[in-house]
Amino acid sequence: MKAAVIVFPGSNCDRDCKVAIERSTGAKVDMVWHGDTALPSGLDLIVLPGGFSYGDYLRCAAMASLSPVMAEVRAAAERGVATVGICNGFQVLTEAKMLPGALLRNEKLKYVCKPVGLEVTNAQTRFTAAYNGRREVEMTVGNGEGNFFADEETLDRLEGEGQVVFRYLDNPNGSSRAIAGIVNGKGNVLGLMPHPDRAFEEELGSADGALLFQSALASA
């Protein structure tokens, strides 16, 4: 199995993602610089990590979404390659219009960093199959702009088509309908604000994030 982690200026969870994927799945992981114009061949998973790409200037991820490598990420996703955006990576996916909605300032205008309980809203996706029907998991959030927003029509469509994958049990940032993670219509692009890369071993407080990476690569 082969995975790639995209590295933007300001990424701070890129190596965390690499280690999490390697230890969770045994996959080979390549680090790909945002300025590259090609991806390694034969990828089974692409991860856009958390951090503060380009220092969060303009809007979070607005500049990163225009990085040269994103054309290749989009093309790979259109071919069906599993693609995960975590925290700032979720923001990149919305800015690049690979996922609907937007991530706004947290409801109380404060940075939130803590473990959170999540409901696995859709256990039948290629990112959640390894949870084997578990309805509640734990990961960690660390964001100041994690407030997922979309208009009511879009929210109804996401709900109705099973694209809401994770929901907060205790909404820490005011996200619409407590949404923590969504997939695209094809089901191969996932964006989530909680960090599976900070929850892949019990020593970190939870190993639930490992199952997300295992699910994504098993589906390949």
147-167 residue pLDDT tens: 999 999 999 999 999 999 999
The two tokens of residue 63 are 């500049």
Phi and psi torsions of 136, nearest 5°: -130, 135
pLDDT score of 6: 98
Overall number of domains in the chain: 1
- pLDDT over 80 (residue 27): yes
Residue among 139, 122, 130 nearest 211 (CA): 130
Give the confidence band of 219 by pLDDT, cuts at 50, 70, 90.
Answer: confident
15-24 average pLDDT score: 98
pLDDT confidence bin for 220, thresholds 50/70/90: confident
63-79 pLDDT, tens per residue?
999 999 999 999 999 99
* Cβ–Cβ < 8 Å for 43, 2: yes
pLDDT at 86 over 80: yes
Share of the chain above pLDDT 70, in %: 100
| pLDDT at res. 1 | 95
Q: Catalogue the active-site residues.
A: 87, 195
Give the model's confidence band at 87: pLDDT under 50 very low, under 70 low, under 90 confident, else very high: very high
Q: Pairing mode, if any, of strands 28-33 and 2-7?
A: parallel
Give me the domain span that covers residue 161. Answer: 2-218
196-215 pLDDT per residue, tens:
999 999 999 999 999 999 99
Q: What is the pLDDT at residue 84?
A: 98
**121-155, pLDDT tens digit by residue?**
999 999 999 999 899 999 999 999 999 999 999 99
For the residues 12-19, what does the mean pLDDT come to?
97
H or E element, residue 2: strand 2-7
* pLDDT recorded at residue 143: 97
The kind and range of the H/E element at 183 are strand 179-183
Q: What is the CATH number of the domain that holds 77?
A: 3.40.50.880
The structure's pTM equals: 0.96
DSSP 7-73: E-TTBSSHHHHHHHHHHHH--EEEEEETT-S---TT-SEEEE--B-GGGG-SSTTTTGGGSTHHHHH
* Per-residue confidence (pLDDT) for residue 58, from 0 to 100: 85
Beta strand ranges found along 65-150 (DSSP E): 82-86, 102-104, 112-120, 136-143, 147-149
What's the whole-number mean pLDDT along residues 46-67? 95
Residue 14 gets the label, from left (phi > 0), alpha (psi -120 to 50) or beta, of alpha
